[in-house]
Chains A and B, each alone.
Chain A
Amino acid sequence: MNRWETVQADFVIVGGGAAGTMAAIRAKELNPDMEVVIVEKAEISRSGAAGRGMDALNNVVVPGHGTVEEYVEAVDIVADGVLQPDITRIIGERSFGILKRLEQWGCRFPRTPEGDYIVNAFHPKGRFLVEMRGDLKKILAREVSSLGIRVYNRHPVLDLVKSGTRIAGAVALDLGTGVLKAFLAPAVLLASGGAARIGLPNTGYLHGTFDCPWCNGEAYKLGFEAGASLTGFEYTCRSAMTRDFNGPGQSTFIRHGAWLVNGLGERFMERYDPQRMERAPAGIRMRAMMEEERAGRGPIAFSFRHLPSKVIEMIEEGIFEAERPTMRAFFRRRGIDLKRTPVEVVMSEVYLCGGHGLSGLVADRWGETSVQGLFAAGDCLANPYGFLAGAMVMGEVVAERVVERAAPGPSGHDARDRIDRLRRALERHGKGRLGVSVRDFEYKFRRLVNEFLAPPKSETKLRRFLHLTEPMLKDQEDLPARDPHEVMKVFEAKAGLFCARMAAEASLFRTESRFGLYHQRVDYPEKNDAQWKTRVILSPGPEGPVVEKERS
């Protein structure tokens, strides 16, 4: 791992998922001479949360079905008033344009007999979910390739390069050769997803997470260390997922009208949110689920028996053909038949995500962070419940900004220092003096997340979490990693621990309860709008994170 190389570009994109590929496509369309480079940990036609497909665009304002105003209002309800409305508004305004582009490229949007899109309700208000079929990532990868965009697959990004206070590039490790590469450019987009491996799932299996397990908060850590701020880290998400499989389904089930029932067969949401029932904001649904289980009324399940078989067939088609075909085999193994059997669900592990929650890098309405030239889009950006359409809209918005600005390449940069520092770190991991595997290390802090950070929270538990994980910050530098894959795993684990600690800091700071279960503080059980209807911002300071309210 001794050689290093440089690659010059105009625009470097970290992560070729939904946001990253869309940003690359838009930039190249607007300026075919621009050198656009995607640096991707996996292989872009199958990588990220949408790698195996998706059965819906969760948030599109379809003309005739909803308005941008209604969309912003719906997201405001889910985010409990704590969001940056201009980003949500842009997503609302441009989401239908994304649908149209995807349709033109060959994504299929099934229609009603009248020829309309199939638009369903999932948000507490309005209808913004459009049924989708087709191999999304294959389609995006094909467009990327047809425009001649350079893609470096199997290159996890480990660090960023700066030129004074500006961004100047990113450093990645070539998993095939072990060579470190500095990708230099005046504009860098972080688009490497959320942080999946924070809590431990009920199975105890490290990669058995709901969210894509290879997106583990590296963007949050890289951005923060480069000087950008984070927000929404107290929004510690958990979702109702198929027991053990932990796969998607929740939104599919709810938008098609499935009921959540407890072990007594009661549709228990009647007790907690009789108006909105299953469509209550996620944190309220999860709090209800936890209370039912605590009262001994588990297990919780989604029930479909009241639904017409046509609807059940549509659910099956969505998850088995578009979203997660392996769920078919799993259901078969467990003897689950949606027409007859309920699907038992458990609460997923805690995860942090800007597109499925509120946690992300803070940026302006063009996706630029406070570090000049450093942008964020998709799940690593705070774009509350932006999901797929939000990721793609913000990818486009960032690309337009980068093309418009056409900044010259940085004159000087610290790539050599960064590479030297990485090399020393990699040598140390090569020695692996801790003598503990990265997987045991990860298991340990994720078990602590379940015990002390997962809601309901309290100051005592959160301080305990910070105290018990403090020595791990030193330990992690001596984790063994003797090949490039293991180096990637060590960097993922470090990012996961960083994110969990940031979540504890933000959770300690917000001395009220908000977001249903997600930030339920037993020592501050009331919601306090007068004091706290504002975002909590974490910024890098000389002695650790500085935690503040966005508005006092």
Chain B
Amino acid sequence: MNLLIDLQCCTGCGACVEHCPGHVLSQDEEGRPYERYPDDCWYCGVCETECPAQCISLLFPYLIR
């Protein structure tokens, strides 16, 4: 897990999924974002920047922390 996504505040808008340059994120049937391919994250922070509700914070991949 590289990100902390606060699903309480998430509106399911999909912006984080749309912009992630590594195609790491996906939305489940209820529109909730999740890390589908966590091994491919560059901890670039694009998802965090793009989230209009500011509900993503970067934890960094464990090997980097």
Contact = CB atoms under 8 A, between A and B. Distances in A.
Decide if the interface of chain B is mainly helix, strand, loop or mixed: loop
Nearest to A40: B21
A243 to B, nearest CB: 10
Contacts of B39: 206-207, 439
Contacts of A203: 63-64
B5 interface: no
B48 A326 contact: yes
Nearest to A196: B42
A205 B64 contact: yes
Interface string A316-334: 0000000011100110010
B31 to A, nearest CB: 16
B13 to A, nearest CB: 15
Contact of B61 (A45, A208, A209): A208
A207 B22 contact: yes
Interface residues of B, number: 26
A488 B41 CA distance: 15
A325 B45 contact: yes
A526 to B, nearest CB: 39
Interface residues of A, number: 34
Given A43-B21, A175-B23, A203-B63, A489 B44 contact: no
Contact of B19 (A46, A48, A207): A46
A214 B63 CA distance: 19
A51 B44 contact: yes
Contacts of A326: 43-45, 48, 58, 60
Contacts of B50: 46
A461 to B, nearest CB: 27
A213 interface: yes
B21 A207 contact: no
Given A325-B49, A330-B60, A207 B42 contact: yes
Interface centre among B21, B43, B50 (most CB of A within 10 A): B21
Interface in B11-39: 18-23, 36-37, 39
A42 B63 contact: no
Contact of A154 (B23, B36, B49, B58): B23
Decide if the interface of chain A is mainly helix, strand, loop or mixed: loop
A269 B36 CA distance: 45
B58 A329 contact: yes
B46 A51 contact: yes
A52 interface: yes
A212 B46 CA distance: 13
B45 A43 contact: no
B44 A244 contact: no
A43 B16 CA distance: 11
A204 interface: yes
A489 B36 CA distance: 14
A207 B48 contact: no
A47 interface: yes
Interface in A11-59: 41-43, 45-48, 51-52
Interface in A177-210: 203-209
Given A205-B63, A207-B39, A208-B64, A52 B44 contact: yes
B40 interface: yes
Interface string A436-448: 0001000000000
Contacts of B40: 206-207, 213-214, 489
A207 B41 CA distance: 6
Nearest to B36: A485
B64 A214 contact: no
A214 B65 CA distance: 21
Nearest to B22: A214
* Interchain residue pairs A-B with the least CB separation, the first 4: A326-B45, A205-B63, A42-B21, A46-B19
